[in-house]
Structure 1
Amino acid sequence: MTKVYVTGMGVVSAIGNNVAENRQSLIEGKTGLCKNAQYFSSKYTESHPFGEVRLSDDALRSSLTTHDTHGLTRTDLLAFRAFEEAIHDAGLTAKEWSNPKTGLISGSTVGGMVLTDQVFEDGSLRAQSKEFLESYDYCSHTLRLIESYQIQGVTDTINTACSSSANAIMLGARLIRSGRAQRMIVGGTDSLAKFTVNGFNSLQILSDELCQPFDENRKGLNLGEGAAYLVLESAELAAGKRIYGEVAGYGNSNDAYHASSLSEDAVGVLAAMEAALVEAGLAPDQIDYINAHGTATGNNDLTEITGFDKLFAQLPPFNSTKCYTGHTLAAAGGIEAVYSLLSISHGELYPGLHCQEPIAPVGQLPIANYQSQQEINAVLSNSFGFGGNCTSVVFTKVK
């Protein structure tokens, strides 16, 4: 069974419009969360921080190499931006990305719901324009990428809420390891939308302050937007290329506990982490860093810490990078995979932000300061979605 290597990455988020800018913000401990969002319209923008990408829709369109941007929503534009960086970073040619052995798996939950008002207008037969009529579902970005790049391999769109792009990575790696594909482009995209902001607010987990993952006094999450894609290649295709790391293991579980909460005994969280470690052939003490899901909600952080306490005799350095980007929903697993691979390839640990008082039962603070020249051989990245869908991915250093 072939190994699966990451040979290209692309990302756009509140802390940068490409991989290099994202890394620099992580090094500097510079959050992208702030009030008064510029491009997202909502009654909550003055009172609540959001992780908004610092590019207008027009700026996103003009930055793309594709010429047909008609009908692309902001969710789609973010996907195209990160996708293009990833394939160019991997040095792929048109012949390679349209090869039948190259596929695309992407995750999204917001999709065309970013145009909440436009959807209503169209549904009421009052819309002035029909430009976005085919763009409202969650898979439209994938279909447009397939069309624009003539992708002929296995394609799919995953909607498992906040674990979507982590599951895309898992599925892409499994397709390569089983011989059904040789190269997969995997990740996800989501944008800020009234529909999701109002929904999270109705759950009473949207914080009006900067989020504090794993802090005893956390008030809730901040929502963000972004996209990230990884180019996964078999060991044969990756030979001689720059490699960021290996997708060494993955695990998925569902605790079937509640529609919007995880079981407090961490049964699903623990099962996903254990399965990922088994697949990677690693013991818990071989994990050097954990990029936690860490939404800063009461339920998530307590459940995840409980899972850590049950799995690790000594908890390794951990943090949640959602204090930089906000919770980017389906894009979170992909964005955090990029950050995990940056830690491995550059030997760096990035600080968690806004955490002062650790929560029980572990009582350990996230990484407090930027650390360079670290030996990071294995990283565990967690992504948990509504409905109890829990996914963990293990990335390892290729020596």
Structure 2
Amino acid sequence: MEHRVKTYLTADTILSALGFSTEENLEAVRAYRTGLGLINDTTIYDQPFIGAKIDRKRLQEQIEEAGLDSYTTLEQLFLLAISQVIYQSGIDPADPDCLLILSTTKGNINCLEAEGLAEEAYLSVMAERIANYFRMTHTPLVLSTACISGVSSLIVASRLIRNGNYKHIIVAGGDLLTRFVATGFQSFKSVSPAVCLPYDERRDGLSLGEACAALLVTSDRSRVKEAIPILLKGGGISNDANHISGPSRTGDGLHLAMEQALRESHLEANEISMVNAHGTATPYNDEMESKAIHLSHLDHIPLNSLKPYWGHTLGASGILETIACMYQLREGEVYGTLGYESTNVSYPLQVSAQHQTVASMRHCLKTASGFGGSNAALVLSVAEETEDTDGLVPIETEVIRNCLIRQGKIWVDNQLRFSIDEGDDFPTFIRKAYKDLALDDRKFYKMDDLCKLGYIATAYLLEGKEISDQYQPEEIGLILSNKAASLDTDLKHQQEIDSKGDAGASPAIFVYTLPNVVMGELAIRYKIKGENTFFVSGNDPEAFLRHYASLAMQSQQMRACVTGWCELLGSAYEARFEWIERK
């Protein structure tokens, strides 16, 4: 029998350029103050640029007070933020009913600046250090799905709670403004020379920022101290299946995620009170969002982007901006999009530079989009005491086919399908495997090695299977995991800027410094538009991936899913993929 459960969002904190608490941050937003300013720091970029940087002097004071000197800067921020969540909610982090989920794109990426590959550069190691500090029972989850990581983490947390796996999940997102990140975005010519202007006709690029934000997702009403409780009602995750770095020209991928979130929330578009969009202020992103919002019949709803206050904080942005949405719902106010004057997107949006009071605010739709064609959306609602959120019972699935790649050999359904001579390196192996399949895809040779591994594993997995004839694009999902994330290509980007200087960063390399881009390439190749979520784990989480796939397939009404482990670093590689279908 399906159980009924509410998923509350509570006990939040924000550490950013605007302050060291949610209250301090939102006080600045209400006063129209931005954390963005001129950064003249050659350890981040060799030219001055506009960005948002956390006050290191204030941070050091808190670190010393908490005794956190043995941790990296990002770990310190996570520890401070999570400590606040625990203090506010009163939960015991060691409780077996409690889990930690971290959202980040690059983690301790500044560790690459030292000689060799430091252990802390692994996202799973960083997460375990944080979980061990709080003596948590369960191994933490790490999501690294580009700029949708924060929103996706909240959706994942909600699904696990609705399924009854946990009662409390601490979700924390964080990323630092580093040389690695700044040079990469500058290589795309996507950084504005001024404070970003989302949706405005003068917009010319994004502004980068850094932050750490955390909150508690819980089914326990007694942990909610706020007078007006907020629920996470529903969510959706999708892929454009169009381009790994550029937004969709039609907006249909984001529209799909928004429709999924509304459907799961049992809401119509006209019931939404406000939209908090991704709004990076790049010409193509904001244009795409206007089309998606129009397709979803939301272009008459008050809408904002909060990037002019904090900048784009990457893995933190989805958590940080969701917290701001919670307070906007409670206050009955839509914060102004700082600097906005007039628009030139295809479908005019209800954007204002001024804070707007909205009567009877009940529901907020929050969206995010990112590299790899990824999109996510969730619905927040003011809780009604008589209202429940649907439980989530996993559907019955079966593994139809599997593929294993290891040490120059490829097995399909436990039968050896392809092998090479011992001693052949990965580039030789992958080229021979590609030729064995008689594929004709010019993009293959432009991919990084991690993407090539995932591409070939999926090609053997689906060999002879015309999935486009059997399924609609939104009926198929991609759920992958690995240990090294994108470190193999991260090292190449770091070597590039170390040898050629900041201006020598290559966009062709930087675009692959996110592990979820593997899924982006697969989505394009096979026209897959359903769920796409990338977990980073110290070990192959085969059982968890199957379980989560069954939840995602139920939540998003998918019929099939590719799940698996896709690990590559240097000369070591392994892929284990499965094709799963509903029974």
Name the SS of the counterpart of 1:228 in structure 2: strand
Q: Is the Cα–Cα contact under 8 Å of residues 187 and 333 in structure 1 kept in the other structure?
A: no
| Cα distance, 1:9–1:307 mapped onto 2, change above 3 Å | same
Larger radius of gyration: 2
Within 5 A, what are the aligned runs for 1:1-399? 1-36=4-39, 41-44=44-47, 46=48, 48-56=49-57, 58-64=60-66, 67-70=67-70, 72-92=71-91, 96-118=92-114, 121-122=115-116, 133-153=118-138, 155-235=140-220, 238=223, 244-312=229-297, 314-364=299-349, 366-372=351-357, 374-399=359-384
Change (3 A) 1:170 1:114: same
Q: Distance in 2 between matches of 1:195 and 1:248?
A: 36
Rate the CA distance shift 1:116–1:29 in 2: closer, same or farther, 3 A: farther
How far 1:275 moved relative to its partner? 0.3
Distance 1:227 1:35 in 2: 21
Q: Distance in 1 between matches of 2:87 and 2:169?
A: 14
Deviation per CA, 1:285-340: give whole Å up to 9, x if none: 11111111000111111101110111116521111101100000111100001100
Counterpart residue type for residue 122 of structure 1: G
Matched residue, 2:517: none
Paired letter, 1:53: I
Give the 3 Å change call, closer, same or farther, for CA 295–313 of structure 1 in structure 2.
closer
Describe the SS at the equivalent of 1:135.
helix
Q: Which residue of 2 aligns with 1:128?
A: none
Q: Conserved in 2, the CA contact under 8 Å of 1:262 and 1:268?
A: no
Indicate if the aligned counterparts of 1:75 and 1:141 stay in contact, CA closer than 8 A: no
Deviation of the 1:357 alpha carbon: 1.9
Structure 2 CA distance, aligned partners of 1:34 and 1:10?
A: 23
The CA deviation at 1:85 is 1.8
Q: How many residues are aligned here?
A: 380
1:209: Cα distance to partner?
1.0
Q: Which of the pair has the greater relative contact order for Cα pairs under 8 Å at 6+ separation?
A: 1
- Say if 1:166 and 1:40 are closer, same or farther in 2 by CA, change over 3 A: farther
**3-state SS in 2 of match to 1:303:** helix
| Partners of 1:352 and 1:76 in 2: CA distance | 31
Give the match's secondary structure for 2:209.
coil
CA distance in 1, matches of 2:108, 2:254: 30
Distance 1:147 1:170 in 2: 24
Distance 2:247 2:125 in 1: 29
Q: Is the 8 A contact 1:166 1:187 kept in 2?
A: no
* Contact in 2 for aligned 1:7/1:242 (Cα 8 Å): no
Q: Residues of 1 paired with 2:369 and 2:269: CA distance? A: 19
Q: Is the 8 A contact 1:249 1:279 kept in 2?
A: yes
Alpha-carbon distance change, 379 to 154 in structure 1, aligned in 2, over 3 angstroms: farther
Q: Percent identity?
A: 29
C-alpha separation in 1, matches of 2:171 and 2:103: 8
> Secondary structure, in 3 states, of the residue corresponding to 2:20?
coil
Q: Where in structure 1 are there 5+ consecutive unaligned residues? A: 124-132
Question: Residue 275 of structure 1 aligns to a residue in which SS?
Answer: helix
Tell me if the contact between 2:107 and 2:123 (Cα under 8 Å) persists in the aligned partners: yes
Shift of 1:354: 1.6
Answer whether contact 1:6 1:232 (CA < 8 A) is retained. yes
Alpha-carbon distance between aligned partners in 1 of 2:234 and 2:97, rounded to the nearest angstrom? 22
- Deviation at 1:262? 1.8
Q: Deviations over 1:326-377 (max 9, x none)?
A: 0001111000011000111222221101221212322235232123574321
Deviation sequence 1:259-306 (CA, Å, 0-9, x none): 112211012100110000011111011111111100011111110111
User: Does the CA-based 8 Å contact 2:290-2:349 persist in structure 1?
Assistant: no
Letter of the 1:86 partner, please give it: V
Q: Residues 236, 19 of structure 1: CA spacing in aligned structure 2 closer, same or farther, 3 A cutoff?
A: closer
Distance in 2 (alpha carbons) for counterparts of 1:313 and 1:225? 30
1:37/1:279 CA distance change after superposition, 3 Å = farther
Structure 1 counterpart SS, 2:39: coil
- Between 1:137-146 and 1:255-264, the stretch displaced more is 137-146
- The answer to whether the Cα contact below 8 Å between 1:356 and 1:365 also exists between their aligned partners in 2 is no
In the alignment, which residue of structure 1 is the partner of 2:547? none
Shift of 1:237: 5.2
Other structure's SS at 1:270 match = helix
The whole-number CA distance in structure 1 between the counterparts of 2:317 and 2:213 is 8
User: What is the distance in 2 between the residues matched to 1:240 and 1:222?
Assistant: 34
The answer to whether the 8 A contact 2:109-2:180 is kept is yes
Secondary structure, in 3 states, of the residue corresponding to 1:151? coil
- Secondary structure of the corresponding residue to residue 300 of structure 1: helix
Deviation track 1:22-59 (CA, whole Å, cap 9, x = no partner) reads 11011111111000357964213x2x111111234523
Matched residues in 2 for 1:294 and 1:313: separation?
Answer: 15
Q: Which residue of 2 aligns with 1:126?
A: none
Please report how far the alpha carbon of residue 256 of structure 1 lies from its aligned counterpart in structure 2 after TM superposition.
2.2
Once the two structures are superposed, residues 79-119 of structure 1 have per-residue CA deviations (whole angstroms, 9 ceiling, x without a partner) of 12221222222233xxx22101100111111211134422x
Question: What is the TM-score normalised by the length of structure 2?
Answer: 0.62
